[in-house]
A and B are shown apart, each in its own frame.
Chain A
Amino acid sequence: MSTVSPATQSAMVPQRWRIAGLTRELPEPAVFTWELEPLDGDAMTYLPGQFNMVYQHGLGEVPISISGDADSGPLVHTIRAAGAVTRRMAALSAGDVIGVRGPYGSAWPVAQAQGRDLVIVAGGIGLAPLRPVIYHAARFRDRFRRVVILYGTRRPGDILYRGELEAWSGRLDLDVAVTVDRSAPGWYGDVGVVTRLIDRGGFDPEQSVAMLCGPEVMMRFAATALRRQGMPETAIWLSMERNMHCAVGFCGHCQLGPYFICRDGPVFRLDRIEPYMGVREL
Protein backbone atom coordinates (compact mmCIF):
# COMPACT_ATOMS: atom_id res chain seq x y z
CA MET A 1 0.00 0.00 0.00
CA SER A 2 1.41 3.39 -0.92
CA THR A 3 1.49 6.17 1.62
CA VAL A 4 1.59 9.93 1.32
CA SER A 5 4.43 11.53 3.27
CA PRO A 6 3.68 14.31 5.76
CA ALA A 7 5.70 16.71 3.57
CA THR A 8 3.51 15.93 0.57
CA GLN A 9 0.37 16.23 2.67
CA SER A 10 1.57 19.62 3.89
CA ALA A 11 2.34 20.74 0.35
CA MET A 12 -1.25 19.95 -0.61
CA VAL A 13 -2.84 22.18 2.02
CA PRO A 14 -3.61 25.74 0.91
CA GLN A 15 -3.03 28.72 3.18
CA ARG A 16 -5.48 31.57 3.43
CA TRP A 17 -4.59 34.82 1.67
CA ARG A 18 -6.62 38.00 1.49
CA ILE A 19 -7.01 39.95 -1.74
CA ALA A 20 -5.49 43.25 -0.65
CA GLY A 21 -5.40 44.85 -4.09
CA LEU A 22 -7.31 44.23 -7.29
CA THR A 23 -6.49 45.65 -10.72
CA ARG A 24 -8.71 45.02 -13.72
CA GLU A 25 -6.11 44.68 -16.47
CA LEU A 26 -8.15 43.76 -19.56
CA PRO A 27 -11.86 43.33 -20.32
CA GLU A 28 -12.97 40.30 -22.39
CA PRO A 29 -11.78 37.74 -21.51
CA ALA A 30 -11.20 39.39 -18.16
CA VAL A 31 -7.62 39.63 -16.98
CA PHE A 32 -7.09 40.83 -13.45
CA THR A 33 -4.26 41.15 -10.95
CA TRP A 34 -4.40 40.36 -7.26
CA GLU A 35 -2.06 41.62 -4.61
CA LEU A 36 -2.31 39.14 -1.75
CA GLU A 37 -1.52 39.30 1.95
CA PRO A 38 -1.12 36.17 4.09
CA LEU A 39 -3.59 35.35 6.85
CA ASP A 40 -2.02 32.11 8.08
CA GLY A 41 1.69 32.83 8.10
CA ASP A 42 4.57 34.78 6.66
CA ALA A 43 4.92 36.37 3.25
CA MET A 44 6.01 34.00 0.52
CA THR A 45 9.56 33.74 -0.78
CA TYR A 46 9.75 32.64 -4.38
CA LEU A 47 11.84 32.79 -7.53
CA PRO A 48 10.85 34.41 -10.84
CA GLY A 49 9.11 31.80 -12.96
CA GLN A 50 7.56 29.77 -10.15
CA PHE A 51 3.82 29.28 -9.74
CA ASN A 52 1.22 28.75 -7.05
CA MET A 53 -1.89 26.67 -6.89
CA VAL A 54 -4.64 29.18 -6.23
CA TYR A 55 -7.80 27.83 -4.65
CA GLN A 56 -11.28 29.25 -4.63
CA HIS A 57 -12.95 27.67 -1.65
CA GLY A 58 -15.48 25.07 -2.60
CA LEU A 59 -14.86 25.42 -6.30
CA GLY A 60 -11.38 24.34 -7.31
CA GLU A 61 -7.74 25.07 -7.81
CA VAL A 62 -5.76 26.48 -10.72
CA PRO A 63 -2.03 26.86 -11.33
CA ILE A 64 -1.10 30.53 -11.69
CA SER A 65 2.38 31.94 -12.29
CA ILE A 66 3.63 34.53 -9.86
CA SER A 67 3.84 37.90 -11.58
CA GLY A 68 5.07 40.24 -8.85
CA ASP A 69 8.44 41.48 -7.74
CA ALA A 70 10.35 38.57 -6.19
CA ASP A 71 12.78 40.97 -4.49
CA SER A 72 10.18 43.02 -2.65
CA GLY A 73 6.49 43.74 -2.39
CA PRO A 74 3.43 41.53 -2.02
CA LEU A 75 2.58 38.24 -3.65
CA VAL A 76 1.01 39.10 -7.00
CA HIS A 77 -0.94 36.97 -9.45
CA THR A 78 -2.30 38.02 -12.82
CA ILE A 79 -5.14 35.74 -13.88
CA ARG A 80 -7.13 35.38 -17.07
CA ALA A 81 -10.73 34.28 -16.72
CA ALA A 82 -10.47 31.32 -19.03
CA GLY A 83 -12.34 28.53 -17.26
CA ALA A 84 -14.92 27.75 -14.60
CA VAL A 85 -12.68 28.54 -11.62
CA THR A 86 -10.96 31.62 -12.98
CA ARG A 87 -14.25 33.10 -14.20
CA ARG A 88 -15.53 32.86 -10.65
CA MET A 89 -12.30 34.32 -9.36
CA ALA A 90 -12.85 37.31 -11.64
CA ALA A 91 -15.96 38.10 -9.62
CA LEU A 92 -14.07 38.33 -6.31
CA SER A 93 -13.36 41.68 -4.70
CA ALA A 94 -10.65 43.20 -2.55
CA GLY A 95 -11.01 41.81 0.96
CA ASP A 96 -12.14 38.36 -0.17
CA VAL A 97 -10.11 35.36 0.97
CA ILE A 98 -8.67 32.68 -1.29
CA GLY A 99 -6.37 29.71 -0.77
CA VAL A 100 -2.79 29.53 -2.00
CA ARG A 101 -0.24 26.75 -1.87
CA GLY A 102 3.22 27.00 -3.24
CA PRO A 103 5.52 28.19 -4.63
CA TYR A 104 6.20 25.33 -7.00
CA GLY A 105 8.34 24.53 -9.98
CA SER A 106 11.54 25.68 -11.58
CA ALA A 107 12.65 29.28 -12.06
CA TRP A 108 13.97 31.45 -14.88
CA PRO A 109 17.80 31.24 -15.12
CA VAL A 110 18.33 34.81 -13.97
CA ALA A 111 21.81 34.16 -12.58
CA GLN A 112 22.90 32.52 -15.83
CA ALA A 113 21.83 35.64 -17.74
CA GLN A 114 24.09 37.92 -15.71
CA GLY A 115 26.89 39.41 -17.77
CA ARG A 116 24.98 38.61 -20.95
CA ASP A 117 22.27 40.16 -23.06
CA LEU A 118 18.89 39.29 -21.58
CA VAL A 119 16.24 38.75 -24.26
CA ILE A 120 12.68 38.46 -23.02
CA VAL A 121 10.08 37.34 -25.54
CA ALA A 122 6.51 37.35 -24.28
CA GLY A 123 3.20 36.77 -25.99
CA GLY A 124 -0.23 37.75 -24.68
CA ILE A 125 -0.68 36.97 -21.00
CA GLY A 126 2.72 35.26 -21.14
CA LEU A 127 4.15 38.58 -20.04
CA ALA A 128 2.89 37.88 -16.51
CA PRO A 129 5.31 35.03 -15.63
CA LEU A 130 8.18 37.08 -17.08
CA ARG A 131 7.38 40.29 -15.21
CA PRO A 132 9.38 39.21 -12.12
CA VAL A 133 12.45 38.86 -14.36
CA ILE A 134 11.90 42.33 -15.80
CA TYR A 135 11.53 43.81 -12.30
CA HIS A 136 14.75 42.10 -11.28
CA ALA A 137 16.69 43.20 -14.38
CA ALA A 138 15.43 46.76 -14.05
CA ARG A 139 16.46 46.90 -10.38
CA PHE A 140 19.86 45.26 -10.87
CA ARG A 141 20.43 46.70 -14.32
CA ASP A 142 24.23 46.71 -14.07
CA ARG A 143 24.31 42.91 -13.80
CA PHE A 144 23.23 42.48 -17.40
CA ARG A 145 24.38 43.79 -20.76
CA ARG A 146 21.50 44.72 -23.05
CA VAL A 147 18.03 44.02 -21.72
CA VAL A 148 15.64 43.47 -24.61
CA ILE A 149 11.92 43.06 -24.00
CA LEU A 150 9.90 41.91 -27.01
CA TYR A 151 6.16 41.67 -26.47
CA GLY A 152 3.46 40.62 -28.88
CA THR A 153 -0.25 40.34 -28.42
CA ARG A 154 -3.46 40.10 -30.37
CA ARG A 155 -4.71 43.68 -30.62
CA PRO A 156 -3.74 47.05 -29.15
CA GLY A 157 -6.55 46.68 -26.59
CA ASP A 158 -5.02 43.42 -25.34
CA ILE A 159 -1.68 44.84 -24.27
CA LEU A 160 -1.04 43.66 -20.72
CA TYR A 161 0.66 45.97 -18.17
CA ARG A 162 0.50 48.78 -20.70
CA GLY A 163 1.54 51.44 -18.20
CA GLU A 164 4.59 49.48 -17.13
CA LEU A 165 5.57 48.71 -20.70
CA GLU A 166 5.43 52.44 -21.43
CA ALA A 167 7.54 53.15 -18.35
CA TRP A 168 10.13 50.50 -19.26
CA SER A 169 10.13 51.79 -22.83
CA GLY A 170 10.94 55.25 -21.49
CA ARG A 171 14.09 54.02 -19.80
CA LEU A 172 17.24 54.50 -21.82
CA ASP A 173 18.75 51.24 -20.56
CA LEU A 174 15.91 48.91 -21.58
CA ASP A 175 15.07 48.07 -25.22
CA VAL A 176 11.34 47.52 -25.40
CA ALA A 177 9.36 46.66 -28.53
CA VAL A 178 5.65 45.92 -28.64
CA THR A 179 3.77 44.54 -31.60
CA VAL A 180 0.21 43.44 -32.27
CA ASP A 181 -1.02 40.78 -34.65
CA ARG A 182 -3.91 42.95 -35.75
CA SER A 183 -3.85 46.71 -35.98
CA ALA A 184 -6.69 48.99 -34.94
CA PRO A 185 -7.58 52.62 -35.51
CA GLY A 186 -5.29 54.85 -33.50
CA TRP A 187 -2.54 52.27 -33.15
CA TYR A 188 0.76 53.79 -34.21
CA GLY A 189 3.03 50.97 -33.06
CA ASP A 190 4.37 47.85 -34.72
CA VAL A 191 2.15 45.31 -36.46
CA GLY A 192 3.15 41.68 -36.97
CA VAL A 193 3.94 38.66 -34.89
CA VAL A 194 6.49 38.89 -32.11
CA THR A 195 8.98 36.72 -34.00
CA ARG A 196 9.36 39.56 -36.49
CA LEU A 197 10.80 41.69 -33.69
CA ILE A 198 13.40 38.97 -33.11
CA ASP A 199 14.35 39.18 -36.79
CA ARG A 200 15.36 42.82 -36.25
CA GLY A 201 18.08 41.75 -33.83
CA GLY A 202 19.40 44.29 -31.34
CA PHE A 203 21.22 41.71 -29.20
CA ASP A 204 24.31 39.54 -29.46
CA PRO A 205 22.91 36.06 -30.10
CA GLU A 206 26.09 34.33 -28.98
CA GLN A 207 26.20 36.22 -25.68
CA SER A 208 22.53 36.17 -24.76
CA VAL A 209 20.06 34.28 -22.65
CA ALA A 210 16.49 34.27 -23.95
CA MET A 211 13.37 33.66 -21.88
CA LEU A 212 10.14 32.90 -23.70
CA CYS A 213 6.59 32.72 -22.44
CA GLY A 214 3.34 32.64 -24.34
CA PRO A 215 1.26 30.19 -26.35
CA GLU A 216 3.31 27.12 -27.21
CA VAL A 217 3.05 27.76 -30.94
CA MET A 218 4.39 31.26 -30.42
CA MET A 219 7.31 29.94 -28.39
CA ARG A 220 8.17 27.39 -31.07
CA PHE A 221 8.23 30.09 -33.73
CA ALA A 222 10.18 32.42 -31.45
CA ALA A 223 12.76 29.73 -30.72
CA THR A 224 13.18 29.17 -34.45
CA ALA A 225 13.70 32.89 -35.01
CA LEU A 226 16.25 33.08 -32.19
CA ARG A 227 18.19 30.13 -33.57
CA ARG A 228 18.10 31.74 -37.00
CA GLN A 229 19.81 34.73 -35.40
CA GLY A 230 22.52 32.37 -34.15
CA MET A 231 21.45 31.82 -30.56
CA PRO A 232 22.28 28.32 -29.26
CA GLU A 233 19.33 26.31 -27.99
CA THR A 234 21.09 25.92 -24.64
CA ALA A 235 20.60 29.68 -24.15
CA ILE A 236 16.84 29.58 -24.83
CA TRP A 237 14.44 28.93 -21.95
CA LEU A 238 10.68 28.72 -22.00
CA SER A 239 7.78 28.26 -19.64
CA MET A 240 5.47 25.38 -20.41
CA GLU A 241 1.79 24.94 -19.64
CA ARG A 242 0.02 21.69 -19.01
CA ASN A 243 -2.90 20.46 -16.97
CA MET A 244 -1.34 20.76 -13.52
CA HIS A 245 -3.34 19.42 -10.57
CA CYS A 246 -1.21 18.38 -7.60
CA ALA A 247 1.81 20.62 -8.40
CA VAL A 248 4.21 18.21 -6.69
CA GLY A 249 4.74 15.55 -9.36
CA PHE A 250 2.35 13.15 -7.70
CA CYS A 251 -0.76 12.89 -9.84
CA GLY A 252 0.81 12.72 -13.31
CA HIS A 253 -1.73 14.96 -15.04
CA CYS A 254 0.93 17.30 -16.37
CA GLN A 255 3.37 14.68 -17.60
CA LEU A 256 5.11 15.55 -20.86
CA GLY A 257 7.46 12.81 -21.98
CA PRO A 258 9.80 12.10 -19.06
CA TYR A 259 8.90 15.35 -17.28
CA PHE A 260 6.24 16.51 -14.90
CA ILE A 261 5.68 20.14 -15.85
CA CYS A 262 4.75 21.07 -12.27
CA ARG A 263 7.84 19.57 -10.66
CA ASP A 264 10.52 19.63 -13.39
CA GLY A 265 9.18 22.82 -15.00
CA PRO A 266 7.41 24.99 -15.82
CA VAL A 267 10.67 26.63 -16.95
CA PHE A 268 12.71 24.38 -19.22
CA ARG A 269 15.75 24.80 -21.39
CA LEU A 270 14.74 24.42 -25.01
CA ASP A 271 16.95 21.47 -25.90
CA ARG A 272 15.50 19.44 -23.04
CA ILE A 273 11.83 20.00 -23.75
CA GLU A 274 11.72 20.55 -27.50
CA PRO A 275 11.58 16.84 -28.46
CA TYR A 276 8.22 16.65 -26.66
CA MET A 277 6.70 19.90 -27.89
CA GLY A 278 4.17 19.53 -30.64
CA VAL A 279 3.99 15.74 -30.24
CA ARG A 280 0.30 15.04 -30.74
CA GLU A 281 0.24 11.96 -28.57
CA LEU A 282 1.59 13.99 -25.63
Chain B
Amino acid sequence: MSLRDTIAAVPFFQGLPDAHLDALAGCAREARFADGEALLREGEGADQFYLLREGIVRLVMHWPHRGELTLETLGTGEVLGWSWIAPPYRWHFDAIARGGVRAIAFDARCLRGEMTSDPAFGYEMMSRFAAVISHRLQAARMQMMDVYAPPGGEEAP
Protein backbone atom coordinates (compact mmCIF):
# COMPACT_ATOMS: atom_id res chain seq x y z
CA MET B 1 0.00 0.00 0.00
CA SER B 2 1.37 3.41 -0.92
CA LEU B 3 1.84 6.11 1.70
CA ARG B 4 -0.96 8.09 0.06
CA ASP B 5 -3.32 5.12 0.33
CA THR B 6 -2.31 4.63 3.94
CA ILE B 7 -3.10 8.27 4.67
CA ALA B 8 -6.44 8.02 2.87
CA ALA B 9 -7.40 5.05 5.07
CA VAL B 10 -6.78 6.89 8.34
CA PRO B 11 -10.05 8.03 9.99
CA PHE B 12 -8.54 11.42 10.81
CA PHE B 13 -8.22 12.15 7.08
CA GLN B 14 -11.47 10.48 6.06
CA GLY B 15 -13.42 12.33 3.39
CA LEU B 16 -10.58 14.49 2.10
CA PRO B 17 -10.61 14.99 -1.70
CA ASP B 18 -7.82 13.57 -3.82
CA ALA B 19 -6.02 16.89 -4.17
CA HIS B 20 -5.78 17.26 -0.39
CA LEU B 21 -4.58 13.68 0.02
CA ASP B 22 -1.93 14.37 -2.61
CA ALA B 23 -0.83 17.45 -0.71
CA LEU B 24 -0.60 15.47 2.54
CA ALA B 25 1.29 12.61 0.92
CA GLY B 26 3.74 15.08 -0.58
CA CYS B 27 4.65 16.26 2.92
CA ALA B 28 4.69 12.82 4.60
CA ARG B 29 7.15 10.07 5.35
CA GLU B 30 7.03 6.91 7.40
CA ALA B 31 8.82 6.93 10.74
CA ARG B 32 9.74 4.36 13.38
CA PHE B 33 10.85 4.91 16.94
CA ALA B 34 12.38 2.54 19.44
CA ASP B 35 11.31 2.29 23.08
CA GLY B 36 12.39 5.45 24.90
CA GLU B 37 13.18 7.39 21.78
CA ALA B 38 11.91 10.98 21.57
CA LEU B 39 9.46 11.97 18.85
CA LEU B 40 9.33 15.56 20.12
CA ARG B 41 11.48 17.56 22.52
CA GLU B 42 10.25 20.46 24.64
CA GLY B 43 11.50 23.80 23.32
CA GLU B 44 12.54 22.47 19.94
CA GLY B 45 10.97 23.72 16.74
CA ALA B 46 7.57 22.24 15.93
CA ASP B 47 8.41 21.37 12.37
CA GLN B 48 6.42 18.16 12.07
CA PHE B 49 3.46 16.31 13.51
CA TYR B 50 2.73 12.61 13.67
CA LEU B 51 -0.14 10.29 13.08
CA LEU B 52 0.45 7.22 15.22
CA ARG B 53 -0.05 3.97 13.33
CA GLU B 54 1.05 1.60 16.06
CA GLY B 55 2.28 1.89 19.61
CA ILE B 56 1.99 4.26 22.54
CA VAL B 57 3.62 7.65 23.06
CA ARG B 58 3.98 9.37 26.43
CA LEU B 59 3.69 13.16 26.70
CA VAL B 60 6.21 14.06 29.35
CA MET B 61 7.15 17.12 31.38
CA HIS B 62 10.48 17.26 33.23
CA TRP B 63 10.42 18.95 36.62
CA PRO B 64 13.73 20.00 38.12
CA HIS B 65 14.51 17.89 41.19
CA ARG B 66 11.28 15.91 40.73
CA GLY B 67 12.00 13.88 37.65
CA GLU B 68 9.60 13.32 34.82
CA LEU B 69 5.84 13.38 34.88
CA THR B 70 3.74 11.64 32.23
CA LEU B 71 0.80 13.93 31.48
CA GLU B 72 -0.94 11.79 28.90
CA THR B 73 -0.45 8.84 26.62
CA LEU B 74 -1.48 8.69 22.99
CA GLY B 75 -2.19 5.55 21.02
CA THR B 76 -2.84 4.09 17.60
CA GLY B 77 -4.79 6.34 15.24
CA GLU B 78 -4.20 9.48 17.28
CA VAL B 79 -2.55 12.71 16.21
CA LEU B 80 0.58 13.81 18.04
CA GLY B 81 1.48 17.50 18.01
CA TRP B 82 -0.39 20.67 17.18
CA SER B 83 2.16 23.33 18.09
CA TRP B 84 3.18 23.35 14.42
CA ILE B 85 -0.07 25.16 13.59
CA ALA B 86 0.52 28.44 15.42
CA PRO B 87 3.58 30.58 16.22
CA PRO B 88 6.05 30.34 17.83
CA TYR B 89 6.05 26.74 16.47
CA ARG B 90 7.77 25.19 19.50
CA TRP B 91 6.92 22.01 21.41
CA HIS B 92 5.71 22.37 24.96
CA PHE B 93 6.41 18.80 26.07
CA ASP B 94 8.56 15.81 25.29
CA ALA B 95 6.92 12.92 23.48
CA ILE B 96 8.61 9.57 24.18
CA ALA B 97 7.90 6.22 22.57
CA ARG B 98 6.70 3.51 24.93
CA GLY B 99 7.70 0.34 23.20
CA GLY B 100 8.13 0.45 19.44
CA VAL B 101 6.16 3.11 17.60
CA ARG B 102 5.24 3.37 13.92
CA ALA B 103 3.99 6.70 12.66
CA ILE B 104 3.48 8.88 9.66
CA ALA B 105 5.51 12.08 10.04
CA PHE B 106 4.25 15.20 8.30
CA ASP B 107 6.62 18.05 7.48
CA ALA B 108 5.02 21.13 9.06
CA ARG B 109 6.70 23.74 6.84
CA CYS B 110 5.60 21.83 3.77
CA LEU B 111 2.04 21.53 5.09
CA ARG B 112 1.79 25.15 6.17
CA GLY B 113 2.84 26.12 2.64
CA GLU B 114 0.16 23.89 1.12
CA MET B 115 -2.47 25.21 3.52
CA THR B 116 -1.57 28.82 2.69
CA SER B 117 -1.64 28.29 -1.05
CA ASP B 118 -4.92 26.32 -0.92
CA PRO B 119 -7.27 27.89 1.66
CA ALA B 120 -9.81 25.08 1.23
CA PHE B 121 -7.14 22.57 2.26
CA GLY B 122 -6.07 24.89 5.05
CA TYR B 123 -9.66 25.09 6.33
CA GLU B 124 -10.06 21.31 6.25
CA MET B 125 -6.86 20.79 8.21
CA MET B 126 -7.68 23.49 10.73
CA SER B 127 -11.18 22.07 11.23
CA ARG B 128 -9.84 18.60 11.91
CA PHE B 129 -7.17 19.83 14.28
CA ALA B 130 -9.67 22.08 16.04
CA ALA B 131 -11.78 18.98 16.77
CA VAL B 132 -8.75 17.14 18.16
CA ILE B 133 -7.78 20.12 20.29
CA SER B 134 -11.35 20.45 21.55
CA HIS B 135 -11.54 16.79 22.59
CA ARG B 136 -8.17 16.96 24.32
CA LEU B 137 -9.20 20.15 26.12
CA GLN B 138 -12.37 18.46 27.38
CA ALA B 139 -10.31 15.49 28.53
CA ALA B 140 -7.85 17.80 30.31
CA ARG B 141 -10.74 19.52 32.07
CA MET B 142 -12.12 16.19 33.19
CA GLN B 143 -8.66 15.28 34.45
CA MET B 144 -8.64 18.50 36.47
CA MET B 145 -12.06 17.71 37.98
CA ASP B 146 -10.61 14.80 39.93
CA VAL B 147 -13.86 12.92 39.39
CA TYR B 148 -12.77 9.87 41.37
CA ALA B 149 -12.26 11.80 44.58
CA PRO B 150 -14.33 10.22 47.38
CA PRO B 151 -17.81 11.70 47.75
CA GLY B 152 -18.78 13.30 51.00
CA GLY B 153 -21.95 11.31 51.57
CA GLU B 154 -23.07 7.75 51.99
CA GLU B 155 -23.33 6.45 48.43
CA ALA B 156 -23.30 3.17 46.63
CA PRO B 157 -20.34 2.34 44.38
Q: Does A106 contact B (CB under 8 A)?
A: no
Q: Does B58 contact A (CB under 8 A)?
A: yes
The answer, among A82, A195, A243, for a CB contact under 8 Å with B139, is A195
Q: What is the number of residues of chain A that contact chain B, defined by CB distance less than 8 Å?
A: 55
The answer, among A78, A85, A179, for a CB contact under 8 Å with B157, is A78
Which residue of chain A is the closest to B151 with respect to CB atoms?
A82
Known contacts A64-B156, A191-B71, A193-B139; A199 and B78 CB within 8 A of each other: yes
Q: Indicate with 1 or 0, residue by residue over A65-89, a CB within 8 angstroms of chain B CB atoms.
A: 1010000000000111011111000
Contacts of A84 in B (CB 8 A): 154
A51 to B77, CA, bound (A): 39
Which residue of chain A is the closest to B138 with respect to CB atoms?
A221
Q: Which of B59-99 contact A (CB under 8 A)?
A: 67, 69-73, 75-78, 98
Q: Indicate with 1 or 0, residue by residue over A121-162, a CB within 8 angstroms of chain B CB atoms.
A: 001111011000000000000000000000011100010000
CB–CB A188/B98 < 8 A: yes
Q: Which of B128-149 contact A (CB under 8 A)?
A: 135, 138-139, 142-143, 145-149
Q: Does A267 contact B (CB under 8 A)?
A: no
Which residue of chain B is the closest to A242 with respect to CB atoms?
B155
Contacts of A185 in B (CB 8 A): 67
Tell which of A79, A158, A241 has the most Cβ of chain B within 10 Å.
A241
Contacts of A125 in B (CB 8 A): 157
CB–CB A129/B157 < 8 A: yes
Q: Does A98 contact B (CB under 8 A)?
A: no
Name A's B-contacting residues (CB within 8 A): 29, 51, 60, 62-65, 67, 78-80, 82-86, 123-126, 128-129, 152-154, 158, 179, 181-183, 185, 187-193, 195-196, 199-201, 214-215, 217-218, 221, 224-225, 228, 241, 243-244, 266
14 inter-chain pairs at a CB distance below 8 angstroms, sorted by A residue, are A82-B152, A82-B154, A152-B148, A153-B148, A192-B139, A214-B147, A215-B147, A217-B142, A217-B147, A218-B142, A228-B135, A241-B155, A243-B153, A244-B156
CB–CB A82/B153 < 8 A: yes
CB–CB A221/B142 < 8 A: yes
Q: Does B119 contact A (CB under 8 A)?
A: no
CB distance from A145 to the nearest CB of B (A): 20
Contacts of B151 in A (CB 8 A): 82
Contacts of B72 in A (CB 8 A): 191-192, 196
CB distance from B138 to the nearest CB of A (A): 7
CB–CB B73/A191 < 8 A: yes
CB distance from B10 to the nearest CB of A (A): 12
CB distance from B103 to the nearest CB of A (A): 15
